[in-house]
Amino acid sequence: MPQKRYHLSSTDKKLAGVCGGLAEYFEIDSLLVRIGFLALVFGLGTGVLLYILLWLLAPKDNNI
């Protein structure tokens, strides 16, 4: 059984694939992840920084 790893999504992306990759990893709808990031942006102000960090540090999807 292959180990589940987080990666940027190449199929479910609006900007960089961060939310799509998180949705694939946690097996949830990507809309819920995007709403969560918006809540972090407007609630705590940390969503943009977290998104950029995940974008820079996550490997790209090799299943193209």
Q: Identify the three-state secondary structure at position 53.
A: helix
The per-residue pLDDT for 45 is 85
The per-residue pLDDT for 60 is 84
Average pLDDT over residues 52-57: 93
As a whole number of angstroms, the longest Cα–Cα distance in the chain is 39
Contact between 17 and 62 under an 8 Å Cβ cutoff? The reply is no
The per-residue pLDDT for 63 is 63
Average pLDDT over residues 10-28: 92
Report residue 60: phi and psi, to 5°. Answer: -80, 155
The per-residue pLDDT for 36 is 93
Average pLDDT over residues 39-51: 89
Q: Is the pLDDT reported for residue 27 higher than 80? A: yes
DSSP labels for 1-49?
A: -PPP---B-SSS-SSSSHHHHHHHHHTS-HHHHHHHHHHHHHHTS-HHH
